[in-house]
């Protein structure tokens, strides 16, 4: 491959939008010749089904600047920010040939982010954190207050912005893994992470999802031109948009049949959360269920993940270790160059086929079974129930040269 620089990015691409395109463009401007994206599959970290299927989203990413798309297995894709980041960065590190880890940041200041990490790891920090947790604050709020007390308002502000919070988790994951990948912080611009309206021609993924689900046509002017026909085509054949509300009855059924032993197998559980979930089993709607479990200490996204994990039968221990395989969702010519190098450098089995991975990696079977079930259940969230078995039958997305993004 010669003097190539391979960068990794982590994203849900739910859906791929102009902000993602800018991240990839700025990553190339920083010297990357090849970009590997680790992407969530059919369910995302908010505790919701992805709007469009993973292959459509992978094709959009490959058409707009990514070269290789790997799947983040479900137990990490639907985990806490810490586990999400550790799983995704772990996959990029396991390729063995990624030089840079590129990520969006609200502040765009790597030194400030690193200073915040040092403070979070300081011996005096747990005591400061504990005093705010004892006041009944959420972990996120308590952590921010502890940083404000020990490091000042500027560092604390970093923990109040969604992209900087994830950036900190990426840096922490690099440190925990002892990874040689160099961090690259790309300043964000335009609409914020969860902004509910477009700003400066940019719309957040949250805003786009809302527009699409509400049938507003404006979303079509706010996504990259190469992605738009892919989204239209997918929705035209019924492969989106997926809605959490469509899963209401099967989710309620899963929760009503839950036992105390079953609850204890779920991810990100605490005793208080366990009891609230069990007490809410009689809820008559998804809104009622989430409302009965949610508190100031247990925010809605965490509760949605817990409830969805019940429905998807996600075991809590699966996200505690490093992912055991690398699954390819798609690639273009440059992506195949990365795969060629990874044959010699990858520290984990690498394939696009769930069936082959299952045969090759016995310890991965529970992950692969979880992924396959999630794919089948995601199809229930579509406007018209979709087919089962796609995890084993859908081909990966391999693009010809002329179909890809910037060459």
- Residue numbering of the annotated binding site: 10-23, 104, 163, 188
Give me the DSSP letters along 219-233.
GGGSS-TTTHHHHHH
Nearest C-alpha neighbor of 18 from the set 240, 236, 221? 221
Contact indicator for 75, 367 with CB cutoff of 8 Å: yes
Distance CA 407, CA 404 (A): 8
Return the number of other C-beta atoms located less than 10 Å from residue 362's C-beta: 9
Distance CA 45, CA 303 (A): 11
DSSP helix/strand/coil, 269: coil
Annotated binding residues for ATP = 10-23, 104, 163, 188
Contact indicator for 10, 37 with CB cutoff of 8 Å: yes
Which tokens is 374 given? 């999630």
Q: How far is CA 227 from the centre of its chain?
A: 19
Q: Show Cβ contacts of residue 166 under 8 Å, excluding neighbours closer than 6 positions.
A: 81, 84, 85, 103
Residue with tokens 């009965």: 292
Q: Show Cβ contacts of residue 299 under 8 Å, excluding neighbours closer than 6 positions.
A: 138, 140
Return the number of other C-beta atoms located less than 10 Å from residue 30's C-beta: 13
Bond into 54 cis (ω within 30)? no
Partner residues linked to 38 by β-bridges = 10, 70
Contact indicator for 52, 234 with CB cutoff of 8 Å: yes
Q: Show Cβ contacts of residue 120 under 8 Å, excluding neighbours closer than 6 positions.
A: 143, 147, 168, 172
Contact indicator for 9, 102 with CB cutoff of 8 Å: yes
Return the number of other C-beta atoms located less than 10 Å from residue 265's C-beta: 16
Q: Classify residue 184 as left (phi > 0), alpha (psi -120 to 50) or beta.
A: beta
């Amino acid at each position: 491959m010669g003097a190539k620089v391979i960068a990794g990015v982590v994203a849900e691409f739910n859906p791929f939008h102009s902000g993602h395109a800018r991240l990839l463009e700025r990553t190339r401007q920083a010297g990357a010749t090849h970009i590997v994206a680790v992407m969530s599959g059919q369910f995302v970290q908010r505790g919701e089904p992805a709007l469009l299927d993973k292959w459509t989203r992978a094709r959009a990413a490959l058409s707009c600047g990514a070269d290789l798309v790997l799947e983040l297995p479900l137990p990490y894709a639907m985990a806490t920010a810490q586990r999400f980041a550790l799983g995704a960065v772990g996959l990029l590190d396991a390729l063995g040939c990624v030089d840079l880890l590129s990520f969006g940041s609200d502040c765009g200041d790597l030194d400030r982010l690193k200073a915040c990490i040092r403070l979070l790891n300081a011996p005096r920090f747990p005591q400061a954190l504990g005093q705010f947790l004892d006041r009944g604050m959420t972990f996120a709020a308590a952590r921010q207050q502890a940083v404000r007390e020990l490091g000042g308002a500027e560092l604390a502000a970093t923990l109040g912005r969604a992209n900087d919070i994830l950036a900190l988790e990426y840096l922490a994951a690099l440190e925990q893994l002892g990874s040689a990948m160099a961090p690259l912080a790309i300043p964000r611009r335009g609409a914020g992470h969860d902004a509910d309206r477009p700003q400066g021609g940019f719309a957040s993924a949250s805003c786009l999802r809302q527009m699409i689900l509400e049938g507003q046509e404006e979303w079509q002017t706010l996504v990259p031109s190469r992605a738009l026909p892919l989204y239209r085509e997918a929705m035209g054949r019924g492969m989106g948009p997926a809605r959490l509300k469509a899963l209401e009855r099967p989710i309620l059924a899963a929760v009503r049949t839950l036992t105390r032993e079953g609850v204890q197998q779920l991810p990100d559980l605490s005793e208080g959360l366990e009891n609230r979930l069990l007490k809410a089993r009689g809820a008559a709607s998804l809104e009622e269920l989430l409302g009965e479990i949610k508190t100031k200490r247990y925010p809605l996204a965490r509760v949605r993940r817990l409830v969805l994990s019940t429905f998807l039968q996600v075991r809590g221990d699966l996200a505690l270790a490093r992912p055991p395989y690398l699954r390819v969702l798609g690639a273009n010519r440059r992506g195949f160059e990365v795969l060629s190098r990874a044959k010699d450098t990858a520290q984990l089995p690498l394939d696009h086929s769930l069936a082959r991975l299952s045969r090759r990696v016995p310890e991965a079977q529970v992950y692969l079974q979880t992924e396959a079930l999630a794919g089948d259940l995601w199809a229930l969230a579509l406007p018209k129930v979709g087919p089962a078995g796609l995890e084993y039958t859908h081909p990966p997305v391999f693009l010809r040269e002329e179909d890809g993004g910037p060459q």
